[in-house]
Structure 1
Amino acid sequence: MKNIIVTGTSRGIGYELALQFANAGHQVLAISRKIPQALLENENITCLSIDLSDESALAVVDDFLSKTWKKVDAVVHNAGALLLKPFAETTQADFESIYKVNVFAVANLTRICLPYLQKGSHVVTISSIGGVRGSLKFPGLAAYSSSKGAVITLSELLAEEYKEQGIAFNVLALGAVQTEMLEDAFPGYQAPISAQGMANYVYDFTLNGNKYFNGKVLEVSSTNP
């Protein structure tokens, strides 16, 4: 059984994913600002209420890892923030707010986990098809999509930097999944896959994808958006 960190577990894919790992017997550290009761009641899940945009708040993760787990087998950077606003109205503060969650939190949490990652560990970052070079882009998502492009490059670089240690870094660039975030970006749009359905895919990839991939971006999308 593995020790797995999942961020953004208050709802959607992260919530479903935390439960899947835990119900399969893995130990899960679920990180989100809001903590669902179902996660609190699961004996295999430890919940930490953290604002990922606050770097100092992540100190409790380091404290938990050093005193309790001692090692981390996988990290799923699933938490994300979205802004739908015309570029001309998007301020620097708007960009910073989105990047703090979508980029800086990924870098900061990864840095904290590094001493506990071992050969065979897998770090999975959930990005968006909108962050992939050459993909279809949508107006109003300048901050969001560019941040998702940034974590793609970050993961590629980390895969190269830590390949000798045997730590794999991969990205899943997701298309439309029926979540509250999708509804915020594309009101009324019905995605062909549910949060639980996508969690099934992420679950298997987290446990097995590093056997086949490192430093790769997999586009997990059947539709546009």
Structure 2
Amino acid sequence: MKSKNIIITGTSRGIGFEMVHLFANQGHNVLALSRNAQPVNNLHFENITSLAFDLCNGEDYIKVEEFIKSEWKHVDILINNAGTLLNKPFSETTFQDFENVYRTNVFGVSEMTRIVLPFMKQDGHVVTISSMGGIQGSMKFPGLSAYSSSKGAVITLTELLAEEYKETGPQFNVLALGAVQTEMLKEAFPDYQAPITAIEMAEYISDFSLKGNKYYNGKVLQVSNSTP
């Protein structure tokens, strides 16, 4: 397979960190973005660039744009993986709490996509990671009003972008994940043990990112064998 230029957000741990390994070992060029760049810096792959990046900081998007212009010229795949999970009763969830969750999970996805789109070709692929909690009609859980509603928002955003760019590309798809055993899940639900590991899900997402846009556009795929 021809080497691709791939941007992944949220790479300091969990699924994002594992995807960086997978793509790099396959010979692809990876731009790994996370507030903490150190874990990826320690990997020592020549085809990985790691930048300290905060989805809530407008100046950081300029760094990404400048990197693409100077180093790559184009992007083949964007994986919007970064997210924040808040488990808190709705009555205690403040305006600031909702804003913080949406700034990362929705506004960050929107702005990163907007910045990268001019560098993507017709066969490019934008993959956004959502959650089963964002699927209309799925089982919902107390405490996740901000998180799950934000994950529903990026599903609709993906459908809209696929429609808006259907004549020119790239393709847009969203994966609604079930429970995966990551640090983020453990922080929110300390006693829950998920049936899928981070590396197992990373393998699925990386493969879908490389090939899925041949078969899907503007679709949400439910990637879950359990509830939650």
TM-score by length of 2: 0.96
For residue 98 of structure 2, the aligned residue among 77, 95, 99 is: 95
Can you list the C-alpha shifts for 1:165-222, whole angstroms capped at 9, x where unaligned? 1210000000010001111222211111100000000010000000000000000001
Alignment of 1:53-202 (within 5 A): 53-202=56-205
RMSD of aligned C-alpha atoms?
Answer: 0.9
CA distance in 2, matches of 1:162, 1:137: 32
Alignment partner of 1:13 is 2:15: yes
Partner SS for 1:163:
coil
Quote the sequence identity (%): 62
Structure 1 gaps of 5+ residues are none
Aligned equivalent of 1:2: 4
Partner SS for 2:194:
coil
Q: Residue type of the partner of 1:138?
A: F
The answer (yes or no) to whether the contact 1:22–1:45 under 8 Å persists in 2 is: yes
Per-residue deviation, 1:39 = 4.1
CA distance in 1, matches of 2:15, 2:50: 16
Aligned equivalent of 1:30: 32
Structure 2 gaps of 5+ residues are none
In the comparison of the two structures, how many residue pairs are matched?
225
Per-residue deviation, 1:120 = 0.5
- Structure 1 stretches (4+) deviating beyond 2 angstroms? 36-40
Can you list the C-alpha shifts for 1:110-163, whole angstroms capped at 9, x where unaligned? 111111011100000000000010000000010000000000000000000011
Q: Residue type of the partner of 1:99?
A: Y
Per-residue deviation, 1:56 = 2.6
